[in-house]
Structure formats: C-alpha cells, structure tokens
Amino acid sequence: MSIQKGVLILASASSIRKKILLSAGLKFSVCPSGVDEEKIKQTNKHLRPIDLAALLATKKALSIPSNLNELVIGSDQVLEIDGQALDKVNDMQEAKDRLWALRGREHFLVGASALARNGKIIWKNQQKSRLVMNKFSRQLLDEVMQISGERLLKSVGCYELEAETICLFKELDGDYTAMLGLSILPLLTALQKFGVLIK
C-alpha cells in the first residue's frame, strides 16, 4: 500500500502511459505538453536516438508550469534501427510497409523519462529495449492489421505489444513497461525519493 503526497502531472495525452500510471495506483492529472516534437526532431538529427528521446522527455516535463508541490512527468520513445531513429508513419499503407521492413529483423525501442519541479529537471531515466520480429507471412500481417486498424498509426513501430500485433514478434528483451512507453519501476523509486510516495 502506498501513500501519495503532492501532485503529479503527466505531460502527455498517451493512453498507454496513462494506463501504466493508473495500474501502479498513482493519482495524477493529464496536461499534454504541446511540444513541437517534429521541429525538435528536425533540428536535432545529429543526436543518437536515445539522446533524442531524452531531449523530448525533458522538453515535455519543462513545458508544464509547476510549483514545489507538483512533479511533472515527461516521457518519450524513439524506434531505432541500424542506428537511425524512425518517425511515425502517415497512413495504413506506410504502416504496412514499416512492419514488413521490420519483419525478421532486430530493432530497439529507446525511451526516456524526466521529472520536473518548479521549472527544473530533478530526475532523468533512459531505457533501451531490444525487439526481434518473426518472419511472418503477408497473410498474417494483413489479418493483424485488419483487426488492429488505425490504432497502429499512434505507434512509431506501427504495432502494439499489449494487443494483437504481439504475434508478429519472436523476442522481447528489456523492461516491458519501457517498451510500452513509460518505465514504471525507476519512476516509482524516484517518486519515493522525492517524497511523493511513501511505502
């Protein structure tokens, strides 16, 4: 049983991040950051994918005004393949092409989280998870995409590990909640450290 003190703000409209926090028993408010992610990505192409994720997470955390009793959670995730970061696709055909390009291959989900208080970053965390896809058939891909629909466009990998597209994978190596979009255990430890949670 945890006792929560202070106010948590999630600087994201991500439904999966909300679910992760709720599953951990946290109470929080949601305030999407409004950060121009595409502009940040375009002006920081020189960064390694994991550093880009960290930059986006800190920008999001700092975008929401807070006081000494509030902590703002910023989080972001980037798909890395062959050392390069990929952006989200625009339509279902591009999603199909993306998944077929990942077929039978290894890629990484690199994520970062940050906590801001009173306009300053007080904690950061980075995670890198390894994923390997099966050599699935076009028929299976078509069937899974038909079931999943346009939800796949919300993910840079065009898949949902918590839903039907999990059958396209051969290996998952890393923190599962980090793969979903927010590594919860390091965050809970940080919240205890900063007096928001008491165990």
Q: Which residues are catalytic?
A: 76
Q: Determine the 3-state secondary structure of 170 from DSSP.
A: strand
Question: What is the residue type of 139?
Answer: Q
What is the rounded distance in angstroms from the CA atom of residue 171 to the CA atom of residue 161? 11
Residue for token digits 């008491």? 198
Per DSSP, 109 falls in state E
